[in-house]
Amino acid sequence: MTLDEYVREQQRIVDAALDRWIPTESTPPEIIFRAMRYSVFAGGKRIRPLLCIASAQSISDLPRGVENVACALEMIHTYSLIHDDLPALDNDDLRRGRPTCHKAFGEAIAILAGDALLTLAFEVLSKAPEVDSCRRVRLVQELAAAAGAAGGMIAGQVHDLEGERQRPSASLLERIHRAKTGALLRASVRFGAIYAGADDQQLAAITSYGEHVGLAFQIVDDILDVERSSEELGKTAGKDAQQHKITFPAVYGIERSKAMAEEERLRAHTALRHFDDRADRLRELADLVVHRRA
Amino acid sequence: MTLDEYVREQQRIVDAALDRWIPTESTPPEIIFRAMRYSVFAGGKRIRPLLCIASAQSISDLPRGVENVACALEMIHTYSLIHDDLPALDNDDLRRGRPTCHKAFGEAIAILAGDALLTLAFEVLSKAPEVDSCRRVRLVQELAAAAGAAGGMIAGQVHDLEGERQRPSASLLERIHRAKTGALLRASVRFGAIYAGADDQQLAAITSYGEHVGLAFQIVDDILDVERSSEELGKTAGKDAQQHKITFPAVYGIERSKAMAEEERLRAHTALRHFDDRADRLRELADLVVHRRA
């Protein structure tokens, strides 16, 4: 199977699981589930679930049911996009080529749809089939830390808001990235490893892989925001510069940023050096993250 | 010990636990923890934690560590107030006698502080000391259902938003209440019972108690909104009528509403008829909920 076929197959599996976990649009109160589904099924690339599943597969041949916990990662990612797009935060009208959730459903429903996805993510973990209570609890702890205000995504968002009023610097950039995007990407691969029963050494290696891939992902994201059009990205391009966001190109320039992404890609490969060929999909995903065009 | 002394002692214990779980105001990014603490330590009555602890005490003599899971209920309650007060939702400026979170910290930080409290509540449950993984998972499931969009608090908030544009009716009122306030109050007593190891029969009785107390609480809340001033309530009074909210006085009138609250209080007592005197605090709390003046 080519990587492209593998990615599409896993996306189908993840989408089917998301469809099972999120109540249908005819469940009352209908509008909230319409809004949740609108944002979840908007053509996202499912990078976090893919990393989670490939990570589980690098540890165990058949990590049955891992797509369920992978769904929780996508729900958290989607909730964070919905809230970040709100007028009080990034005030963005376009996401994945469509009006943002608050543009389509109004601010009140967008706030509540985000809250609902955040809540549902924890519900999914607490009910994940094929896995014992002890592991479910560990996943809840992982997700809460990655999503939370102490070094997690919420901290990243706050630093980002504050960063708009500060001079760009390498240390501020690193702090923002580590919390805002890094924490959930790192948690994504840790999710898969914990789910599949990784030992401490394996988990440490996978975590290092996740940190390097996460950093590469953010650098590439920042580069794409400069180089590609809104149409190609499916979201408003050039917003970073417009909003004076601190980005890798702003701090290091485009060429140095590209070299850094490549370095991080190689470091991700190095982190997996003791893994056998079951980690090949994970290796390919590191390449995909750096070489993507949108 | 009088009920008043008991309540104050438990409030102290809950506040100390909240203080341990919520990072200090000097934790970066400081502003988010300042906002979380501003809203959590704003003089709330801690009704949900109190119900949780008294419920646990009705099952077991010494439910060690129950205050930790009680904290999670207060965090969820506070998050829901912060988000409900936002301009896009109820647009309230006053809460517990002080400016609402978004008035004090701005909308962006208020949205994120709510998100952070919601996330932290699940983290607390996943780390609750003195209790095994199996019970932690059950509490996560309970809380997610009570807070969620399928019949939980978020559903209640959506029904409430929609209700502003509909004719008041008994069935709509019941649906709003059951989700918006009822679900978390019901979960509060179930939390304590599950924590303390209640059997199925005990849990069913406690659940019934919680449903009646929850209904009584909402009826009294609606009556107080009509009868008391903003100063006495510590929040904007008369908002319900102003915003055309569907309330018990609006549907049944004040006198009938008062009689209904009293009926629910008696039903709560009846639900506990097979419990011994360890349930006396729970019985007294039912009376307190109905006879409070703010």
Tell me the chain A residues in contact with residue B33 when contact means C-beta distances shorter than 8 Å: 149
pLDDT range class, residue A165, cuts 50, 70, 90? confident
DSSP state of B35: H
Top-confidence residue, A53 or A163: A53
Task: Say which residues have a Cβ less than 8 Å from residue A38's Cβ, sequence separation at least 6.
Answer: A101, A104, A105
Average pLDDT (B11-40) is 97
Query: A156: left (phi > 0), else alpha (psi -120 to 50), else beta?
Result: alpha
Segment B174-179 mean pLDDT: 88
> What percentage of chain A reaches a pLDDT higher than 70?
97
Q: A146 CA to chain B: closest CA distance, Å?
A: 10
Evaluate the CA torsion angle B279, B285, B286, B288 in order and state its sign.
positive
**Residue B112 contacts by C-beta under 8 Å, 6 or more apart in sequence?**
A83, A149, A154, A157, A158, B32, B35
Q: What is the pLDDT of residue B230?
A: 64
> Mean pLDDT throughout B256-278?
97
Predicted local confidence at residue A160, as pLDDT: 86
Spatial separation of the C-alpha atoms in residues B164 and A46, rounded to whole Å: 38
Which domains does chain B carry? 3-291 (1.10.600.10)
Hey, how many other C-beta atoms are within 10 angstroms of the C-beta on B31?
18
* pLDDT given at position A96: 82
pTM exceeding 0.90: yes
Angle (CA) A110 A128 B203, round 5°: 90
The shortest CB-CB distance from B144 to any of A112, A123, A134 is to A123
Instruction: Share the mean pLDDT of chain B.
Output: 94
DSSP codes, B64-111: TTHHHHHHHHHHHHHHHHHHHHSTTTT--SEETTEE-HHHHH-HHHHH
What's the pLDDT score for residue A7? 97
Could you give the CA distance from residue B104 to residue A90 in angstroms, rounded to a whole number?
20
Q: Per-residue pLDDT averaged across A76-87, rounded?
A: 98
pLDDT at A127 over 80: yes
Dist CA A163 CA B43 (whole Å): 33
Tell me what pLDDT residue A97 has: 85
The rounded distance, in Å, linking the Cα atoms of B142 and B184 is 9
Q: For A110-161, what is the HEC assignment?
A: HHHHHHHHHHHHHHHHHHCCCCCHHHHHHHHHHHHHHHCCCCCHHHHHHHHH
Q: What pLDDT is attached to residue B66?
A: 98
Mean predicted confidence (pLDDT) in A202-225: 96
Residue B104 token pair: 């004090």
CB nearest to A32's CB, from B31, B115, B158: B158
C-alpha dist (Å) from residue B35 to A87, B23, B107, B113: 19, 11, 11, 6
User: Which of A85, A105, A122 to substitute to test the interface with B, most B CBs within 10 Å?
Assistant: A122
Closest CA to B186 of B204, B173, B199: B204
Contact between chains at B140 and A123 (C-beta distance less than 8 A): yes
**Residue B267, CB-side half-sphere exposure with 13 Å CA sphere:** 16
Burial of A43 (0-12, 13-18, 19+ CB in 10 A): exposed
Closest by CA to A32, choosing from A43, A41, A44, A24, is A24
- pLDDT the model gives residue B48: 98
What would the mean pLDDT of A10-22 be, rounded to a whole number? 98
How many Å apart are CA A280 and CA A294, to the nearest integer? 23
If you measure CA to CA, which chain B residue comes closest to A88? B108
Per DSSP, A164 falls in state T
In this prediction, residue A293 carries a pLDDT of 82
End-to-end CA distance of chain A: 23
Indicate yes or no: CB of B149 within 8 angstroms of CB of A31: no
Residues of chain B in contact with residue A27, where contact means CB-CB under 8 angstroms, are 150
Q: Is the pLDDT of residue A228 over 90?
A: no
Q: Does A159 touch chain B (CB under 8 A)?
A: yes
Question: Which residues 79-98 on chain B approach chain A with CB closer than 8 angstroms?
Answer: 79, 83, 86, 88-89
Mean pLDDT, rounded, for A74-87: 98
With a pLDDT cut of 90, the percent of chain B lying above it is: 82
DSSP B40-51: HTS----HHHHH
Does the pLDDT of residue A240 top 80, yes or no?
no
> What ipTM is given for this predicted complex?
0.95
Residue B116 near residue A127 (C-beta atoms within 8 A): no
Contact predicate B60/B196, CB 8 Å = yes
CA of B2 to nearest chain A CA: how many angstroms apart? Answer: 38
**Mean pLDDT calculated for residue range A225-232:** 77
Residues of A within 8 A of B113 (CB-CB) are 149
Tell me what pLDDT residue A198 has.
97
Q: What is the mean pLDDT of residues B97-126?
A: 97
B95: closest CA of chain A, how far (Å) = 19
CB contact under 8 A, A115 and B154: yes
Average pLDDT of every residue of chain A: 94
Q: Which residues pair with B94 in a beta bridge?
A: B99
pLDDT over threshold 80, residue B229? no
Indicate the range of A31-40, A169-178, A212-221, A250-259 predicted with least confidence: A169-178
Give the integer Cα–Cα distance in Å for A216 and A212.
6
* Structure confidence at residue B10 (pLDDT): 98
A111/B86 CB distance under 8 A:
yes
DSSP state of B150: S
In this prediction, residue B165 carries a pLDDT of 72
β-bridge partners, B98? B95
Place B231 in a pLDDT band, splitting at 50, 70 and 90: low
pLDDT score at B233: 66
Q: Which residues contact B276 (CB under 8 A, 6 or more apart)?
A: none
Pairwise CA distance, residues B137 & B149, whole Å: 19
Q: How large is the angle between the packed helices A107-127 and B133-147, nearest 10 degrees?
A: 160
**Considering CB atoms only, which of B88, B141, B145 is closest to A108?**
B88
Question: What residues does A99 pair with on adjacent strands?
Answer: A94
Q: Does the distance separating the beta carbons of B32 and A155 come in below 8 Å? A: yes
With residue A94 as reference, give the H or E element that holds it. strand A94-95
CA distance B11 to chain A (A): 25
Per-residue pLDDT band at A230 (split at 50, 70, 90): low
The H or E element spanning position B199 is none
Average pLDDT over residues A104-113: 98
* Residue with the two structure tokens 């089939």: A129
Among the listed residues B39, B50, B21, B31, the one whose alpha carbon sits nearest the alpha carbon of residue B78: B39
Residue B104 contacts A where some CB pair is shorter than 8 Å: no
Distance, CA of B86 to CA of B107 (rounded, Å): 7
